[in-house]
Structure 1
């Protein structure tokens, strides 16, 4: 009688391959779900970063409000802070850095406005405009469904209430204090 040589039978190899295939399929499915979750989380983190940048810039503009009315292109006076008839927010702020020490004003007139579903921050090169003066537009946030502004004045304080609706977070509301002496 011959001694049996050690090794695997074909049936044992097929069973081992089938078990490995099932485990690999399960592992791949789990990995795919983890990667999809990571991508969704990265997209939400990016969207939150954009929303925080908008809030930060708007809060800086409001907190640096200065009592400097301006004149529009037709020479009509506009207050330092106003909600325009189109729903936009216009204000004069003093947080206009000048790191290169160029000869220019230390205050700036800006407008926050939604155009075509995009929130823009427009900044004029001069305070008192003349016909033809165009602002520099900075795109702040896309897919904006709603942007409303209200200026609230109470006995104790004054603030700008902003309601913003944009995906993926939906409606948010900010109450941004402004200096009381303006």
Structure 2
């Protein structure tokens, strides 16, 4: 009896040099992968830019609000320190303790107390200040003397940008708002008064619209 020998055909072992090992990526696969990578990079850069722009807008808004708050602080301090002290202008004319409104050169001008003197200089603690809008910028003027000479110059401080208009009204002790202070001597039916009871401030801004505030005047 003849014994049959089983024969098996072994698969050739995988070798780095075979066709399977050299196949790699096709051109289409490379193009698709590159496109996906480009999309991911674009999304990442776009998201980063969006975050940066949002942060920049937030910082600008915060700075704007801080600028507005500083402006209101100056108005509050000046009006709360208002004193009944008339002054002389550079031409010798008499100016009341507070004046302003639609018919005045400066929307608001007043005498105030509490001018700090940390260096102990020989000067008064009273000060004359004023507000006006120049080239859409709200400016605060502060004179170093009450009764000015022709060479007296005010120190200017820029408080707020983008100001379209500044309107001031005054609340008369006769219980009525007036557009100018001092009010006209005739035609108003109001008794004479040195100081108003309150001052209304209305500022129109390019970005924030109209903002109003009423300041009570000490009396």
Residue 151 of structure 1 contacts residue 159 of structure 1 at CA under 8 Å; is this kept in 2? yes
Offset, 1:54: 0.9
Query: What does the per-residue CA deviation read over 1:78-132, in whole Å, with 9 as the maximum and x for residues that have no partner?
Result: 2211116125200111131111121111110001011232211111111112233
The aligned residue for residue 111 of structure 2 is 92
Structure 2 residue aligned with 1:9: 25
CA, structure 1 residues 145+108, in 2 after alignment: closer, same or farther (shift >3 Å)? same
Q: Which one of 158, 169, 172 corresponds to residue 150 of structure 1?
A: 169
Q: After superposition, give the CA deviation of every residue in 1:58-93 in whole Å (9 maximum; x if it has no partner).
A: 111111111212122232222211116125200111
- 1:43 CA drift (Å): 1.5
Q: Is the 8 A contact 1:62 1:178 kept in 2?
A: yes
TM-score (norm 1): 0.86
CA distance in 2, matches of 1:6, 1:103: 95
The Cα shift of 1:2 comes to 4.8
Shift of 1:172: 0.8
Aligned: 1:169 with 2:186: no
> What SS does the aligned partner of 1:38 have?
helix
Moved more, 101-110 or 111-120: 111-120
Change in Cα spacing, 1:77 to 1:7, as seen in structure 2 (3 Å) is: farther
**2:154 — aligned with what?**
135
Q: Is the 8 A contact 1:60 1:95 kept in 2?
A: no
Measure, in 2, the Cα distance between the counterparts of 1:92 and 1:70. Answer: 8
TM-score by length of 2: 0.73
Return the alpha-carbon distance in structure 2 between the equivalents of residues 153 and 8 of structure 1: 91
SS in 2 for 1:60: helix
- Within a 5 Å distance, the mapping from 1:1-182 to structure 2 comes to 1-3=12-14, 4-5=20-21, 9-10=25-26, 11-83=28-100, 85-154=104-173, 158-179=197-218, 181=219
Any gaps of 5 or more consecutive residues in structure 1?
none
| 8 Å CA contact retained: 2:138, 2:159 | yes
Q: Which has the larger radius of gyration?
A: 2
> 2-side partners of 1:114 and 1:14: how far apart?
62
Give RMSD over aligned pairs: 2.2
